[in-house]
Amino acid sequence: MEKVIVLGSGLVGKAISIDLSKNYDVTTVDLNADNLKRLKTHPSIKAIQMDLSNPKSIRELIHDCDLVIGALPSAMGFQTIKTVIDAGKNIVDISFLPEDPFQLDELAKEKKVTAIVDCGVAPGMSNMILGYHNQKMKIEKFDCMVGGLPAVPAWPYKYKAPFSPIDVLEEYTRPARIIENGRIVVKPALSDLELIEFDQVGFLEVFNTDGLRTLLTTMKIPFMRERTLRYPGHAELIKILSESGFLSKVPINIKGQKIAPIDLTAKLLFPKWKLAEDEEEFTVMRIELEGLENGLKKKVVYNLLDRYDEPTGTSSMARTTGYTCTAAANLVLNGDYIRKGISPPEYLGEDEKCFGLVMKYLASRGVEYKQGIQE
């Protein structure tokens, strides 16, 4: 039985470990003992408490495994991927790392490693869908809107973070790069705010965030953007925090102690944004693709509305992100995807067989992307 090491056992890492343990020998590693305790009801999963900021520890840990899953916070993502690649191990990673993963492409090819990055819901499935359709039509416009939200929009933020709050704040502070007229245009995060209506959800606000990532260089499409969805009013509160300096990364001196305001903000927001163990939430995404196929105008729309799974106690964000990751992991372990080097999800989508297998895998777990076509 193939051996898989899952680095990180947070909300999504836990779902990944449980899903993969059905067919593989899984070991989960995390510094947080409480995260590991949540896996006690799954005795087949080995749990190891370890500081994963040490590259040497990671190398020793993964020396005899067949695949590594990276499910760590964004700040640890790049170094972790580099360490795993240098050790000659294949990896599927979901961290929202700020660095360009293609910096590791040459190393991955040298080590003959398959490294799939950004393999979540968005970035992730959004990239795969674009990669798939980019092989079939001349795409002129790609527009992705996505968000994970609590079922009950409680005051004041109307939001709960399905993953690390510091990574959410990173989305709100990192300038958003979009493509207009074939060129990269940089806009402030939270800009171009508008309201969009979604079936079974109602009106949500949508704003620019830096979600295109690898698509900025791998796809030559005149117009592309990815935007974040929240309940109306949330963006204004975040703008107030930003304008007041609470999201600054520049340390300030407080009674002789230097601290970055964003670190304090994340610490204060974590208990307010943390999802309760059984709190209902949902993931909503809409992808619109416009272009030409066989010389005729065509618009393809994908809609996703996925909710908290009560029988298993699995959050929607863990399902939509985690199962995309485990679908890709299966492709690598089964030998269906063997491309060496850094592979963003759009590369998987370009392979029709792999795309079909991922969609089938997700549907079997109740994560269904509904497609509509307008000729």
> Concatenated DSSP letters for 222-289?
SEEEEEEEE-TTHHHHHHHHHHTTTT--S-EEETTEEE-HHHHHHHHHHHHHBPPTT--EEEEEEEEE
Cβ contact 370:130 at 8 Å: no
Tell me how far the alpha carbon of residue 340 is from its chain's centroid: 21
CATH code, domain carrying 275: 3.30.360.10
- Domain total in the chain: 2
Residues 278, 138, single domain; the answer is yes
Cα-flanking dihedrals φ and ψ of residue 301, to 5°? -125, 130
Q: In DSSP terms, which residues pair with 223 in a beta bridge?
A: 141
Are residues 323 and 301 part of one domain?
no
Distances (CA, A) of 24 to 3, 5, 17, 329: 6, 10, 9, 11
In sign, the C-alpha dihedral spanning 108, 15, 351, 183 is negative
Q: Are 235 and 173 part of one and the same domain?
A: yes
Question: Which of 93, 107, 121, 114 shows the shortest CA–CA distance to 13?
Answer: 93
Q: By the 8 A CB rule, do 71 and 32 touch?
A: no
On whether both 154 and 233 belong to a single domain, the answer is yes
Q: 130 and 116, same structural domain? A: no
In a shared domain, residues 71 and 146: no
| The predicted structure's pLDDT at residue 364 | 97
Domain shared by 350 and 279, yes or no: no
**Tokens standing for residue 174:** 């990192």
Q: Residues 33, 144: one domain?
A: no
d(CA 127, CA 332): 18
Range of the domain at 99: 3-120+316-369
Dihedrals phi, psi of 42, to nearest 5 degrees: -125, 75
Domain check: are 63 and 18 in the same one?
yes
Q: Note whether residue 95 is domain-resident.
A: yes
Q: Which of 205, 207, 206 is nearest to 232 (CA)?
A: 205
225 shares a domain with 139: yes
User: Pairing between strand 25-30 and 46-49?
Assistant: parallel
Q: Is there a domain that residue 106 lies in?
A: yes
Confidence at residue 375, expressed as pLDDT on a 0 to 100 scale: 57
Domain membership of residue 374 (yes or no) is no
CA 317 from chain center: how many Å? 9
How far apart CA 114 and CA 307 sit, in angstroms, is 32
61 to 27, 28, 50, 205, 325: CA distances (angstroms):
10, 11, 10, 44, 21
200-225 CB burial, b ≥16 within 10 A, e <16: ebeebbbbbbbbbbbbeebbebeebb
| pLDDT per residue rounded down to tens, the chain (375 residues) | 899 999 999 989 999 999 999 999 999 999 999 999 999 999 999 999 999 999 999 999 999 999 999 999 888 999 999 999 999 999 999 998 989 999 999 999 999 999 999 999 999 999 999 999 999 999 999 999 999 999 999 999 999 986 667 778 888 999 999 999 999 999 999 999 999 999 999 999 999 999 999 999 999 999 999 999 999 999 999 999 999 999 999 999 999 999 999 999 999 998 889 888 789 999 999 999 999 999 899 999 999 999 999 999 999 999 999 999 999 999 999 999 999 999 999 999 999 999 999 999 999 999 999 998 765
The verdict on 195 and 275 lying in the same domain is yes
pLDDT at 336: 98
Same domain, 147 and 250: yes
d(CA 189, CA 112): 37
CA dist., res. 214 & res. 258, Å (int): 35
Residue type, 89: K
Which amino acid is located at 333 in the chain?
Answer: L
List the beta strands (DSSP E) in the chain. 3-7, 25-30, 46-49, 67-70, 91-93, 114-116, 138-150, 176-180, 183-187, 194-198, 202-208, 223-230, 252-254, 257-259, 281-293, 296-307, 341-343, 370-374
3-state secondary structure of 41: coil
